[in-house]
Amino acid sequence: MGKSETDASTGTKGHSEATRRVCVFGVPVQTCPMVHPDMLNVHLVAHTHDDVGWLKTVDQYFYGIHNDVQHAGVQYILDSVISSLLVEPTRRFIYVEIAFFSRWWHQQTNATQEVVRDLVRQGRLEFANGGWVMNDEAATHYGAIIDQMTLGLRFLEDTFGKDGRPRVAWHIDPFGHSREQASLFAQGRSGAQGLLLSLVWHAGVLPNIYNPPEKLCWDTLCADKPFVEDRRSPEYNAEELVNYFLQLATAQGQHFRTNHTIMTMGSDFQYENANMWFRNLDRLIQLVNAQQQANGSRVNVLYSTPACYLWELNKANLTCLYTLQVVILPSSDGQELLFPASVPALGFSIYSVSQVPGQRPHAHKPQPRSQRPWSRVLAIQNETPLVQEVHQNFSAWCSQVVRLYRGQRHLELEWTVGPIPVGDGWGKEIISRFDTVLETKGLFYTDSNGREILERRRDYRPTWKLNQTETVAGNYYPVNSRIYIRWVSGQISSAPSAARSRPQPGTALFLAPPRFPQFSGLRRELPPSVHLLTLARWDQKTLLLRLEHQFAVGEDSGNLSSPVTLDLTDLFSAFTITYLQETTLVANQLRASASRLKWTPNTGPTPLPSPSRLDPATITLQPMEIRTFLASVQWEEHG
């Protein structure tokens, strides 16, 4: 195979520059490369995965400090990628972590910023996902997920307008999967769909996780051989690499339901020298596509993006498949102040405390319990009329407090762990184990990202027969806010910790006479099934407002799982809503103008619900629904 300077079919150097302007998710500015309808189209997605803090700090990752810990310098990645994209107009690249990109952006000259805007406008640089970070899934709270997505997408909207709106939900290396993450994507994006290959939302498998295929990694962090096209060189390998790629693509394509397949070309903190990557990808595309004429190959390879790949899958109009779903005594530990408090909705109460000599009647009296030497646990029990608690010290770096408040049906856990000693070279998983005589039949219930409740069953998977070889690890589930078990007559649960006062050691506190200044931001209570998730200033005259229904269909035996309607017109005490606009969950697009691809699952067509009529006097929330609004307000004089 000789070096081919020009592709005879297009007249371009190496590969076609032909693109077409398409309307992806209602945004008519995205350009996607031409594909061949009668060939296997291999979409190469050039990308980097840049953790916003992991083995190094955010600043160390950005500036390339402590490369002895992990070689990574994000500022150099972005510098190099932008320069390389300008060399060849068919090259494309996707970027995700807006925390890094925004920092890099603010360090650029006006001229560089205009160049980047043009690359975004042409679709050659595309933002996927668009959050401040690519959040983990299993152990994150849904409120934090929404907030960080809103932050990142607002930067893109303010900086690039609709050109910068992500068209696809791109989640790789998310440290677990959660149903709530998919639910938030489904509710919240401006038409974005999950890149889950031929499946929608519930599961997806990228062929190489998110890494390049074996032998095809051309980064400074890799050791694979680059293309050598000079036949006079003893290192000549172009023909071997092309044949290898053709075999790889053909085999991979057999597992896909359309004539489109995807290959991720990049990995963690790659493209610091983007020229190495793009130069070899250019040669790969040119030489592989040259085989179409030379040998009748039916493989067409092209630079692409997740949005362009997903667009082609959607056009195929196939039925999408779903899948189911040393002991140190705590001698310096301070006392705690515990008293009943009443706090109004969306407000605060002020309580004053004073220090007096001596010991108040109900001060905690530590009562050490006996210890079992082998367990190395020190337990101290405290009891007051308001709370019973047990302090447990397992080591100098691990302790927990178990509390039961009077009149409550749940336990509260407060744990302190770290820094975990790893000097012996072994990682450690820290757990709390609770034994019970209750008959649960192996069923228990946990939250999903702090929101939905999911039923779990010990040693069981809903989609396949489990051969359980890890009886402990195989039954681990993330708990972000609550977990409970049920038996015939009730349930026992644990709940999040509450804030509390921590006075200095050696002092006594008492509650001042009952003269409580209070403020409430609400004129009346919200319905018990409604949660005010977000109330934040958006700009000088606008507030960001999110309301959520906290119950799922069938979760409550009464009426809490029913749709609920509320009136916002005079709900808030500090302001009056004068104009209301509903947006997508992450507030980067009006809901009425949002557009998304339509899919046909094997459960039958599922049309998207039309936005409810927008009237501040009648806002209706369906079970588990979150609705987001931009509210123009008139502030009250006292507000």
Residues forming the active site: 173
Helix (H) or strand (E) holding 627: strand 626-635
* Paired tokens of 609: 């619900």
- Secondary structure class of 155 (helix, strand, coil): helix
Phi, psi dihedral angles at 179 (to 5 degrees): -70, -35
The answer to whether 171 and 213 have CB atoms below 8 angstroms apart is no
* Cα–Cα dist 354/356, whole Å: 6
* Cα–Cα dist 602/590, whole Å: 30
Sorted by sequence, the CB contacts under 8 Å of residue 104 that are 6+ apart come out as 62, 74, 75, 78, 79
Displacement of CA 16 from its chain's centroid (Å): 36
Exposure class string for 450-464: b at 16+ Cβ within 10 A, else e: bbbeeeeeeeeeeee
* Cα–Cα dist 229/255, whole Å: 31
The answer to whether 107 and 74 have CB atoms below 8 angstroms apart is no
- Structural Rg of the chain based on CA atoms: 29
* Cα–Cα dist 323/200, whole Å: 9
DSSP letter string over 269-291? Answer: T--TTHHHHHHHHHHHHHHHHHH
Q: Which amino acid, one-letter code, is at 377?
A: V
The answer to whether 433 and 483 have CB atoms below 8 angstroms apart is no
Closest CA to 85 of 73, 96, 77: 77
The answer to whether 36 and 18 have CB atoms below 8 angstroms apart is no
Exposure class string for 98-135: b at 16+ Cβ within 10 A, else e: bbbbbbbeeeeeeeeeebbbebbbbbbbbbbbbbbbbb
Please tell me what DSSP assigns to residue 369.
Answer: P
* Paired tokens of 88: 């060849």
* Paired tokens of 1: 């195979």
* Paired tokens of 479: 């708990």
* Cα–Cα dist 302/317, whole Å: 22
350, burial (CB in 10 Å: exposed 0-12, middle 13-18, buried 19+): exposed
* Cα–Cα dist 238/292, whole Å: 16
